[in-house]
């Protein structure tokens, strides 16, 4: 893995170079092993929270972890194109639009002891802007090269906070073209329902049950590119104990192994059905 500037990352994408890099400020990683018609994103995978913000933050490290999506990058790591955030969504949320990407309060609790200075605010928002410059360059290249592409927008959610039964997997599709891509959406839902899980975990999947797919990552790509489907794919945190912060690596490994083949098969079917 290289450490590269924003300009170098975008230049490599435009030149269709193979590379794996972390940004100069360590805010995101991108890997391109091969230029293919699909990509994976894990915008909430990160937990970094820069030290100059610690004393001003009212949320503990555990409270931040609880709302992040740990291991979502790990679940898709073998695929050719993976872009992932390294920073906590509590510094800036890549899945929110720029005008509300920095929280004032988070999940009912004030985040900052005192409002961020303009310097601290701008420092975080520059990272947000840089990430989306790379996203734009990436999807532009994939649409240019393949005509259409599909993005798997990987997330997780805290199923134990719900007071009703919720699915192991949820697809949020309220902001994509369901008429055009409905067949592939249902196909993806059906695939996820077959995910083998250890420890007696039952895999279920539904569409727009717990979340509707209102994230900025999905909206940004959908609104800027006419031929890219983004599938907001949420896994319940059955792969950890969200209340005691214990990871279950065997569950993560089982999901990752399943997605190695099934995600690629889905992407290939999508491309076959929609290539221009």
Distance CA 69, CA 71 (A): 7
Q: Which residues of the chain have pLDDT under 70?
A: none
pLDDT on residue 243: 93
**Dist CA 110 CA 241 (whole Å):** 25
Helix (H) or strand (E) holding 255: helix 249-274
Q: List pLDDT tens digits, range 108-130.
A: 899 999 999 999 999 999 999 99
Model pLDDT, residue 276: 77
pLDDT tens digits for 39-66?
Answer: 999 999 999 999 999 999 999 999 999 9
Taking the whole predicted model, whether its pTM rises above 0.85 is answered as: yes
Measured at the alpha carbon of residue 76, what is the angle toward residues 16 and 145, in degrees to the nearest 5? Answer: 25
Alpha-carbon distance values, 263 to 22, 115, 156, 202, 269 (Å): 24, 42, 17, 19, 10
CA–CA gap between residue 133 and residue 90 (Å, rounded) = 21
> 9: part of which helix (H) or strand (E)?
helix 6-14
Q: Is the dihedral of CA 184, 186, 188, 194 positive or negative?
A: negative
Separation CA 42–CA 71 (nearest Å): 9
Alpha carbons 271 and 276: distance in angstroms, whole number: 9
């Amino acid at each position: 893995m290289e450490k590269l500037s924003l300009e170098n990352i975008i230049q490599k994408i435009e030149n269709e170079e193979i590379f794996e890099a972390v940004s100069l400020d360590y805010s995101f990683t991108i890997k391109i092993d091969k230029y293919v018609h699909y990509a994976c994103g894990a915008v909430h995978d990160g937990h970094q929270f820069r030290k100059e913000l610690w004393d001003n933050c009212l949320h503990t490290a555990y409270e931040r972890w609880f709302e992040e999506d740990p291991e979502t990058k790990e679940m898709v790591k073998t695929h050719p194109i993976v872009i992932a955030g390294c920073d906590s969504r509590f510094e800036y949320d890549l899945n929110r639009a720029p005008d509300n990407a920095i929280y004032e309060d988070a999940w009912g609790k004030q985040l900052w002891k005192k409002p961020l200075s303009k310097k601290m605010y701008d420092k975080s928002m520059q990272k947000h802007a840089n990430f989306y410059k790379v996203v734009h360059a990436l999807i532009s290249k994939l649409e240019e090269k393949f005509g259409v592409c599909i993005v798997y927008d990987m997330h997780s959610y805290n199923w134990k906070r719900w007071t009703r039964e919720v699915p192991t997997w949820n697809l949020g599709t309220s902001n994509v073209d369901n008429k055009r891509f409905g067949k592939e959406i249902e196909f993806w839902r059906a695939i996820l329902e077959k995910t083998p899980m250890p420890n007696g975990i039952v895999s279920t999947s539904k569409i727009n049950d717990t979340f509707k797919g209102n994230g900025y990552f999905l909206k940004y790509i959908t609104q800027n590119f006419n031929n890219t489907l983004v599938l907001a794919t949420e896994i319940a945190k059955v792969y950890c104990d969200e209340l005691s912060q214990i990871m279950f690596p065997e569950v993560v490994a089982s999901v990752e192994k399943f997605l190695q083949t099934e995600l690629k098969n889905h992407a290939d079917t999508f491309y076959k059905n929609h290539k221009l």
